[in-house]
Structure 1
């Protein structure tokens, strides 16, 4: 199977690292020449696409693509991939699976209640509204095409190099407490297995929540990471007193618990890391944040 990826960011590269052996060929887009060189040195084929200008070799690759993963976020007012390539995709002769990586942020705030894929989206931010619009356009394209489009609404992503253990180690961890607040999260290995399960069993216009089994307070994740590393956790900071960027504060405006039943019942996925404790334990065992262990 030939895979093409729009947006070779952290999540897509983790997917390739874990599941690349399943594909005959892999190519993806980057925005900069520097990243193209770095990935080329690692054996990953790339084409340049900055949202507007693109390497015309992309069109040649799409002629042979069977699985297409879209990890590039929507730009202001438009989805850059659809804006530039919708015609090419509609006529791609071998394409059978399209996966669009979205976010559980499209549900907005539920006051801590449980939501699932049948819950109407209620995005609270401009970024989330753009995601919903991009989802709608991808599903619209898939409704009249020969390939199946799937939407994957991802919870907070963590994995190698990007997790609470690393934050403890580099001193950036904050234990911010907002009473009643919970976040949802997912390990990159479980994202990868969900995507592969969907490729093995495409379902036209399906939407999947990709999250673990245990929404929880963010301060508990930091405290557990510190415990694994044998350190005292950073002091608790009331949310009202925390020094955060506007984007970081915006995450606390949404409070919901995400159900993941569909990835289990329809795709047969059994999560490798059903809780953040399982995921952090495995990352710790794999040697994450070794510098922190010396303190």
Structure 2
């Protein structure tokens, strides 16, 4: 029986965990994890855990010489304007394997890589429609860190011949990961005539796109992994409130928001864009299970 190809996952959070059943049928899966209890959980799922921490380069020696397929979804640290975690991951992978290495991850021909980025790299577009032809114009430090990660990965892919697909994801939601806490706190939203446009994707649809990008993604290609129906941010919170049987948030002016909302929330409200997903559908051939947020909420009832 032919051995399965190897896959390394850096960042096995909620989204990538949803893809594991599909991935385990096709790959021998290795996952970076920081703690022994995480390793035990992953091992029980059929995954080979690798105890390593991207904030501790000395723990990454087992990745030397890696030529396995890669899924990278580790977020940057919360400070600075560059992504040091991606830099350390790529540095570890690019180091030659030591002679007589007993590592279970063997060198292989160049294999695909997928990076889960964010649509925040586009910056503010004043509500205009965008596709992937628009270059990155990040407005915030968090988005500049993501844009830096993308650039690092592109340079690495060009040097190594790796086919790289970058998936830009917007607000990710699913049952159990909705902004109900904010609604329960009574935080207001912007009145509709001044509100920003936002985009969403269900976690299952993003996980499906990650899987297909490994096989169908074009080299050095970027994909907007968004659903078919951008919405005003306040309308999104109204949908969540209605589905959760909570009172809808109060509406305030943008000027009032400057006094009542946190800088982090204001940063998101300052970005307004509507994103097209033609590449997602035509090249990756993704069929969205939840093409709109309203279709998801309707399914709950």
Query: TM-score by structure 1 length?
Result: 0.82
The residue aligned with 2:291 is 274
> Is 1:73 the equivalent of 2:75?
yes
Q: Secondary structure at the match of 2:150?
A: helix
Q: How many residues align?
A: 279
Compute the displacement of 1:114 (Å).
0.9
Unaligned runs of 5+ in 1: 286-295
Cα distance in 2 for residues equivalent to 1:223 and 1:238: 16
Compute the displacement of 1:137 (Å).
1.4
The residue aligned with 1:211 is 226
Compute the displacement of 1:147 (Å).
2.3
Contact 1:96–1:148 (8 Å) recurs in 2: yes
Compute the displacement of 1:94 (Å).
4.2
Cα distance in 2 for residues equivalent to 1:38 and 1:124: 38
Unaligned runs of 5+ in 2: 97-106
- Listed as ranges, the matches of 1:27-38 within 5 Å are 27-38=30-41
The residue aligned with 2:142 is 127
Which digits, 9 at most, give the CA deviation of each residue in 1:113-147, with x for residues without a partner? 11111112211011211211211111111113232
> Compared with structure 1, are the counterparts of its residues 133 and 232 closer, same or farther at alpha carbon in structure 2 (3 Å cutoff)?
closer
Q: Secondary structure at the match of 2:152?
A: helix
Which digits, 9 at most, give the CA deviation of each residue in 1:45-98, with x for residues without a partner? 4323142245457427x7472x21111123443432332443634874244110
Cα distance in 1 for residues equivalent to 2:67 and 2:149: 24
> Compared with structure 1, are the counterparts of its residues 130 and 27 closer, same or farther at alpha carbon in structure 2 (3 Å cutoff)?
same
Cα distance in 2 for residues equivalent to 1:236 and 1:73: 32
The residue aligned with 2:164 is 149
Among 152, 173, 189, the alignment partner of 1:158 is 173
Q: Which moved more, 1:108-117 or 1:143-152?
A: 143-152
Query: TM-score by structure 2 length?
Result: 0.80
Q: Secondary structure at the match of 1:144?
A: helix
Among 21, 26, 29, the alignment partner of 1:26 is 29
Q: Which moved more, 1:259-268 or 1:39-48?
A: 39-48
Cα distance in 1 for residues equivalent to 2:186 and 2:32: 32
Alignment root-mean-square deviation, CA? 2.8
> Compared with structure 1, are the counterparts of its residues 90 and 160 closer, same or farther at alpha carbon in structure 2 (3 Å cutoff)?
farther
Contact 1:102–1:152 (8 Å) recurs in 2: yes
> Is 1:176 the equivalent of 2:181?
no
